[in-house]
C-alpha cells in the first residue's frame, strides 16, 4: 500500500517524506492549493491523507466524511499547524467517522497502523512493552481489555514503539512513545464513530411555522422565535407576553409568584443586556414597577423620547421562575448533507468569559452528544451527578438539540441560524428554552424577485 498525502504547503510535504523514511513507510506527497477539494475528487480505491495548514470549515468536514464512507480505502486528516479551531475540527472529524490527528509524525504512525491492519491496536497486548513505555502508554490503553486479535505493542530499537499483528511478526515502528500514543488515540476515537441517525419531528404544522418566519431577512424576537419552534416540541417555560403594567401583574398572579420579567425586543436581547431581566419578582407592585423600569431602559437605549411608541419594543415576558443547575448557550446552523452544526457552551458570565464551547454535528446519537458535552471544561456542572440524574440531563439536552436540528433541516433555505440562550438545565434534569432567536435568510425576498425561484408556499 502506498499512501498519497495531499499537502497544503511544500514544508508539510518535506516533513511527511522525512518522517516516512524513519518509519520505512511508503508514501507519495502532492502539494495542492485546496487539498480537501482534491481529496473529494480522488480515486476511491487509493488510500489518501490530507495535511493542512488551515483548519477546514465544518461544511467541508461533512463532505469529506460523506466521501470517506464511500471509499474502499480510508481518508485521513491531519492538522499539523496549531490554531484555535484545531482541536474542535479533529473532534468533529472523528465523530463523523474519519481518522484525524494533530501532527505529522503521529499521522505517519497512524498510517502505518492502518496499513498493517491495526484497526483496534489500542486494545493490543502490551507484554512486549518495557515498564517505562507501558507507563507512558497507560493513559491511552487504560480500561481497554487486551485482545490477541487486536495485535501486539512492543518496545523496539531507538526508543520507539512497534506494532505487529501476531507475536512472531516483525514489528512495524510507530515512532516515539508520544507519537504512538497520538496515533492510538486517533484510532480509538475514530472507532467510536456514530451510527447514522435521523432527526425528525412528526405532525409539525408547517403552515403555522411559515406564517411566522415569512418576510425579509431579519432576526425574530424571542416570542416569535418560540412560537415558530413550539410545533417542534421545544420545551418552553410557562410565560406570557405583556404590553402593559396591569396585564403583567395579572399574568404574574395567574402564573404564580415569584416570576421572572424580561424585555421582549428583536433588537435588545436579554443575553446581550442582562440588566433587562429581573428574577424573583414576588408581588404585583414590584411587577408594575419592573415593567416601567425595563420599558424606560429599552426606549433610552433605542434613542426614543419618553412615552414613544416603538414596535422594536414588544413589551415584557412574564415567566414562571425555575431554578437551574446550569445555563447553556446553543447555536445551530445548517450544513451540507442534511447535517447541522451545533455550537454548545456555557451561557453564564464565567462560561462566556472563558469561551468554554464545543461543536458537534447533528443529528447524532445520545452517546455522541454526551461526548461533546464532556469536551466542555465545565462539564462537571452537567455530568457530575448521580447516574439517573446525569442520564436525565444528557437525554433532555440531546432531545432539544435533535428537535432544533429537525427545525433547521426542514427550514434550511429560509433559516440561517437558531440561537438559544440560555437553555436552562433544571434541578430535576429537565431543560427549558428561556430565550431564542431565529435568524431568517433572504430566501423569501429572492423568491419574490426571481420568478423562477421555488416558492416556499408550494413546498408546504
Is 427 a member of any domain?
no
Range of the domain at 94: 3-191
Going by pLDDT thresholds of 50, 70 and 90, the confidence category of residue 459 is: very low
Is pLDDT at 259 greater than 70 in this prediction?
yes
Task: Find, among 376, 434, 353, the residue nearest to 400 by Cα.
Answer: 434
* Region 33-56 average pLDDT: 92
Looking at residue 250, what is its pLDDT? 96
Give the tens place of pLDDT for each residue, 103-130: 999 999 999 998 888 878 888 888 889 9
Higher pLDDT, residue 168 or 148: 168
Looking at residue 403, what is its pLDDT? 96
Looking at residue 460, what is its pLDDT? 37
Looking at residue 193, what is its pLDDT? 58
Bridge-partner residues for 357, per DSSP? Answer: 345
126 grid coordinates = 502490551
* Region 361-377 average pLDDT: 93
Is pLDDT at 46 greater than 90 in this prediction?
no
Interhelix angle 366-374/387-410, rounded to 10 degrees, is 110
pTM of structure? 0.87
Going by pLDDT thresholds of 50, 70 and 90, the confidence category of residue 349 is: confident
Backbone phi, psi, residue 90, to 5°? -65, -45
Is 301 a member of any domain?
no
Give the tens place of pLDDT for each residue, 292-305: 999 999 989 988 77
**Coil, helix or strand at residue 115:** helix
Is 221 a member of any domain?
no
Is 258 a member of any domain?
no
101 grid coordinates = 490527528
* Region 226-250 average pLDDT: 95
Is 65 a member of any domain?
yes
Residues 6 or more apart whose Cβ sits within 8 Å of residue 233 = 201, 403
Q: What is the C-alpha separation between 152 and 125, in angstroms, rounded?
A: 5
Q: What is the C-alpha separation between 279 and 208, in angstroms, rounded?
A: 32
* Region 119-148 average pLDDT: 83
Give the tens place of pLDDT for each residue, 202-235: 889 999 999 999 999 999 999 999 999 999 999 9
Report the phi/psi class of residue 278: left, alpha or beta, with left for phi > 0 and alpha for psi in -120 to 50: beta
Domain count for the chain: 1
**Residue 231 DSSP code:** G
Q: Could you tell me what percent of the chain has a pLDDT over 70?
A: 94
Q: Could you tell me what percent of the chain has a pLDDT over 90?
A: 69
Is pLDDT at 260 greater than 80 in this prediction?
yes
Task: Find, among 417, 378, 250, 364, the residue nearest to 318 by Cα.
Answer: 250
CB 96 within 8 A of CB 88: no
Going by pLDDT thresholds of 50, 70 and 90, the confidence category of residue 310 is: confident
Cis before residue 453, ω within 30 degrees of 0?
A: no
Nearest-5° Cα angle at 97, 1 to 346: 145
Locus of grid cell 517524506? 17
Is 34 a member of any domain?
yes
Is 150 a member of any domain?
yes
* Region 9-20 average pLDDT: 94
Is 248 a member of any domain?
no
* Region 28-36 average pLDDT: 95
Going by pLDDT thresholds of 50, 70 and 90, the confidence category of residue 196 is: low
Amino acid at each position: 500500500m502506498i499512501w498519497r498525502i495531499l499537502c497544503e504547503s511544500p514544508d508539510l510535504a518535506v516533513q511527511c517524506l522525512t518522517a516516512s523514511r524513519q518509519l520505512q513507510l511508503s508514501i507519495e506527497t502532492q502539494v495542492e492549493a485546496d487539498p480537501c477539494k482534491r481529496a473529494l475528487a480522488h480515486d476511491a480505491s487509493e488510500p489518501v491523507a490530507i495535511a493542512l495548514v488551515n483548519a477546514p470549515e465544518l461544511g467541508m468536514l461533512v463532505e469529506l466524511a460523506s466521501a470517506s464512507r464511500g471509499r474502499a480505502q480510508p481518508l485521513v486528516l491531519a492538522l499539523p499547524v496549531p490554531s484555535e479551531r484545531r482541536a474542535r475540527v479533529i473532534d468533529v472529524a472523528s465523530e463523523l467517522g474519519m481518522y484525524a490527528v494533530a501532527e505529522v509524525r503521529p499521522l505517519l504512525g497512524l498510517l502505518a497502523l492502518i496499513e498493517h491492519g491495526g484497526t483496534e491496536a489500542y486494545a493490543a497486548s502490551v507484554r512486549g512493552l518495557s515498564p517505562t513505555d507501558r507507563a507512558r502508554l497507560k493513559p491511552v490503553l487504560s480500561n481497554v481489555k487486551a485482545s490477541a486479535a487486536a495485535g501486539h505493542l512492543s518496545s523496539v530499537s531507538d526508543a520507539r514503539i512497534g506494532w505487529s499483528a501476531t507475536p512472531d511478526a516483525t514489528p512495524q515502528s510507530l515512532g516515539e512513545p508520544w507519537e504512538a500514543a497520538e496515533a492510538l488515540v486517533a484510532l480509538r476515537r475514530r472507532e467510536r464513530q456514530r451510527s447514522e441517525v435521523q432527526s425528525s419531528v412528526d405532525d409539525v404544522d408547517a403552515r403555522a411555522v411559515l406564517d411566522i418566519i415569512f418576510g425579509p431577512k431579519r432576526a425574530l424576537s424571542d416570542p416569535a422565535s418560540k412560537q415558530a419552534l413550539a410545533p417542534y416540541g421545544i420545551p418552553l417555560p410557562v410565560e406570557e407576553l405583556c404590553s402593559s403594567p396591569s396585564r403583567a401583574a395579572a399574568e404574574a398572579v395567574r402564573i404564580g409568584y415569584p416570576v421572572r420579567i424580561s424585555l421582549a425586543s428583536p433588537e435588545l436581547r436579554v443575553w446581550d443586556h442582562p440588566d433587562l431581566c429581573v428574577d424573583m419578582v414576588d408581588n404585583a407592585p414590584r411587577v408594575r414597577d419592573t415593567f416601567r423600569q425595563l420599558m424606560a431602559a429599552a426606549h433610552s437605549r433605542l434613542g426614543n423620547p419618553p412615552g414613544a411608541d416603538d414596535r422594536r419594543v414588544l413589551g415584557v415576558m412574564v415567566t414562571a421562575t425555575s431554578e437551574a443547575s446550569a445555563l447553556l448557550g446553543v447555536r445551530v446552523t445548517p450544513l451540507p448533507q442534511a447535517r447541522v452544526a451545533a455550537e454548545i457552551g456555557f451561557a453564564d458570565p464565567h462560561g462566556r468569559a472563558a469561551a468554554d464551547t464545543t461543536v458537534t454535528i447533528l443529528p447524532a446519537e445520545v452517546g455522541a452528544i454526551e461526548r461533546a458535552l464532556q469536551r466542555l471544561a465545565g462539564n462537571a456542572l452537567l455530568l457530575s451527578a448521580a447516574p439517573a440524574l446525569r442520564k436525565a440531563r444528557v437525554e433532555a439536552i440531546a432531545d432539544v438539540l435533535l428537535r432544533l436540528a429537525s427545525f433547521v433541516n426542514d427550514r434550511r433555505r429560509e433559516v440561517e441560524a437558531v440561537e438559544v440562550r440560555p437553555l436552562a438545565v433544571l434541578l430535576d434534569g429537565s431543560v427549558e428554552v428561556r430565550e431564542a432567536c431565529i435568524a431568517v435568510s433572504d430566501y423569501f425576498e429572492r423568491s419574490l424577485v426571481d420568478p423562477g425561484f421555488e416558492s416556499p408556499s408550494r413546498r408546504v
